[in-house]
Amino acid sequence: MKPSLFNLLRSGEYFGRLIGIGLTTEKNIFLLYGVTGRSPASRARRLVRRKEGIFTEPLAEIALDHGQKELLIYPAILFNQGVALSNGQQTKDIAEKLAPGRDNPETILKEALANWSYEPDAPIFTPRINACLVPGGPLAMAIIRRGENGQSLHEYYSLHLNPGEGYLLATYQGPNLQLPPSFSGPPLNFMTSKLKAQEILAEFYEALAPSEGKDDFRVAAASVTLSWPCLEVLEIEIINRY
């Protein structure tokens, strides 16, 4: 039996950033985006809604250097004749490939991510996690991570959505180690009975809460519901810790 979203995330302590997509039992699409962080720079941001989608934004009182800004401040979710999600600047490249008549999201991801590599944040080398959804079509997700010899490994997944189920990708596997292990393998399949963006977000945010005596790494989280199959935005909910 597939785990619930809550139980899936309670099995780990630090996931980095997370993206999820699924279908409610009422057959609306839901999107999830989570930001967790251990460093002051990672925590010095929030999620904001703009016309084009949801973006990460630095806190007004914090100054980030150019390298930090390039990796930490970006469009997280973009709506453009479909949906593009990622944990970096590559979201824009995915969104630019969305167009009427393009109904294969895996092909869109492969074209958009062809020249991208994992993040240059040595020694962690954070993976780039990505997803693409087109009106009436299937879901595709992708991860770009570092191989043993430093090569860039691109892994793509075409996924079928069933009511009450979703798929999750994270940058890290879950253990809170000095060098957190990169996520590997296919997206994680989970169950949910929640229907509204606020309910889905509450479950997601609570699942990322720390166990007693542990550090709270939560920074921000967002949930979006869209109509299926045309992907009209119905609701957007955001929680910012800072």
- Report pLDDT digits (tens) over 167-198: 999 999 999 999 999 999 999 999 999 999 99
Q: Which residues contact 23 (CB under 8 A, 6 or more apart)?
A: 29, 30, 161, 162, 163, 164, 165, 166, 228
User: Band of the pLDDT at 136, cuts 50, 70, 90?
Assistant: confident
Place of tokens 């999820």: 20
User: What is the overall mean pLDDT for the chain?
Assistant: 94
Instruction: Pick the closest to residue 102 from 82, 84, 85 (CA basis).
Output: 82
Q: Which amino acid is at 152?
A: S
The CATH code of the domain that includes 16 is 3.60.20.20
How far is Cα 223 from Cα 198, in angstroms, rounded to an integer?
A: 7
Say how many domains are in the chain: 1
**Buried residues in 121-130 as b, exposed as e (16+ CB within 10 A):** eeebbbbbbb
pLDDT computed for residue 138 by the predictor? 84
Q: Which tens digits make up the pLDDT trace of 153-165? A: 999 999 999 999 9
pLDDT tens per residue, range 46-89: 999 999 999 999 997 666 666 578 888 999 999 999 999 999 99
What residues make up the domain containing 70?
5-240
Q: Are 68 and 74 in contact (CB under 8 A)?
A: no
Tokens of 146: 């570092």
Which residue would you say has higher pLDDT here, 62 or 43?
43
**pTM, 2 dp:** 0.96
